[in-house]
Amino acid sequence: MSAVLVNAIAGTVAADPRPRFVVLEPRSSGLRLLKHAARLGHPVVVVVGAEGYALLADQVVEDITEIVRVDTADIAATGRALRELHRRTPIGALFPGQEQAVQPAARLAVELGLRTPGPVVAQRLRHKHLMRDAVRNAGIDQPRYVAVTGSAAVRAALRVTGTPSVVKPVDQSGSLGVRKVETVSDARAAMAQIARLVEVDEDHPILVEEYVEGPEFSVEGVVADGTVHVVGVTEKRLGSEPTFVEIGHLVPAGIDDRCQQELREYARKVVHALGLRLGPFHLEVRMGVRGPMLMEVAARLPGDRIPDLWLRAAGADLYAATVASYLGEEVRLDVARPDQHVGIRYLDLDGSETSAPLAAQIGSAADVFEQGRLRHTGVGQVACSARRLAYAMAASAQREPVLAALDHAISEYATAADLAAAG
């Protein structure tokens, strides 16, 4: 596909000399970032392929100054399109709008002379085995791990990690292909599934990790000129094992101040160890018997509306801080102590256990302020976030009413099978 320019706001392209905030292949929070960047007064440009273009809803397009359509899988073609854009009107920042855009955005930003975490750091954050190597080299505790190529190496890997273990792709997101395994045959079956899902050959590494028992959290923040600004700790809710599909998030996390501080400090150490000096991060961690244990890190905004949860709960604007960090502006993340508990809950394709009777009793104490169905992407029974079918968001001054109201709202939807059939 050759580069095609669409003027989303007629007459503004040539007349506006301000540096563009360019987002490469926005999805999830990357799409929501467009509105926030425009609200801050920045001309917003989206660079997308055919699939990404189809996802741009009318309300999103209203916030876009330009849309550049190009085959984004072709780095050379994307680079040419960006250089032409930069020649006409300067680009101020190039931001990855989703996980798969992190590495190409870093590489292209270097070519354009823009601020970037850098290709080496981007590769480290995109590939989980390289991430784990860097954390190990910094002496930070984390799960035992082995990157394997080929099923013949599984038995030796499990001797290192112990059982149960977790098998995962090194470069995917949304819990795609991540599976808890108990035996060598389980691990080999999980590896075969990964090979089918992501179409990799036997030379492509797959990660085998120690399974960590304990509650899971994510730490959200933004790095500006090497300074790590932590917004807060998000409590996560996962579906049933052996898969790890996320079905809910709550802010602030229901933990004491000591645990909060321990998670924050651990996140700062990991971010420094990875060399990330610019932009947002989303760090997933479990609290195990040895303390915080890293699951993975992403050099992008968190998905699942987590930035919106923090904005409502504490006025912490991850969107604005992200834009500022990439444009070299002052990052202001004055996070007040949350005066609300805000959460989101998803209905997974396999169904989700709820506490509907309890929720009906106390759910009225919380405000369910948004809910709806999600587009089913046709991934069938494969465990990942793309198979979630509905969501609800709620807020309250108290924690328990939020959880109950979310369960109650989800329980009111049709069964997962009915939703899937409705597609």
Asked if residue 16 has pLDDT above 80, the reply is: no
pLDDT of 369 reads 94
pLDDT of 12 reads 44
In this predicted model, which residue has the larger pLDDT, 421 or 218? 218
Asked if residue 282 has pLDDT above 90, the reply is: yes
The CATH H-level superfamily of 144-210 is ATP-grasp fold, A domain (3.30.1490.20)
Task: Report in angstroms the alpha-carbon separations of 70 from 143, 353, 396.
Answer: 40, 43, 44
Of the candidate CATH numbers 3.30.1360.100, 3.30.930.10, 3.40.30.10, 3.30.470.20, the domain formed by 213-337 belongs to 3.30.470.20
pLDDT of 357 reads 42
Asked if residues 180 and 163 have their Cβ atoms less than 8 Å apart, the reply is no
User: Which helix or strand (DSSP H or E) is residue 191 part of?
Assistant: helix 184-198
pLDDT of 418 reads 57
- Which part of the chain has CATH 3.30.470.20? 213-337
Least trusted range by pLDDT, from 92-106, 219-233, 375-389:
375-389
Asked if residue 153 has pLDDT above 80, the reply is: yes
In this predicted model, which residue has the larger pLDDT, 11 or 178? 178
Q: How far apart are CA 82 and CA 76, in angstroms?
A: 10
Asked if residue 356 has pLDDT above 70, the reply is: no
- When the pLDDT of each residue in the chain is averaged and rounded to a whole number, the result is 87
- Which part of the chain has CATH 3.30.1490.20? 144-210
pLDDT bracket for residue 58 (50, 70, 90) = confident
Least trusted range by pLDDT, from 72-81, 360-369, 408-417:
360-369
Least trusted range by pLDDT, from 19-23, 59-63, 187-191:
59-63
pLDDT bracket for residue 293 (50, 70, 90) = very high
* Phi/psi at 295 (5° precision): -95, -55
* Phi/psi at 232 (5° precision): 170, -175
* Phi/psi at 220 (5° precision): -105, 145
Q: How far apart are CA 59 and CA 337, in angstroms?
A: 32
- Which part of the chain has CATH 3.40.50.20? 4-116
Residue 290 CB contacts under 8 Å (≥ 6 apart), including other chains = 141
pLDDT of 208 reads 95
Q: What is the CATH number of domain 4-116?
A: 3.40.50.20
| Residues 158-190 pLDDT 10s | 999 999 999 998 887 777 878 999 999 999 998
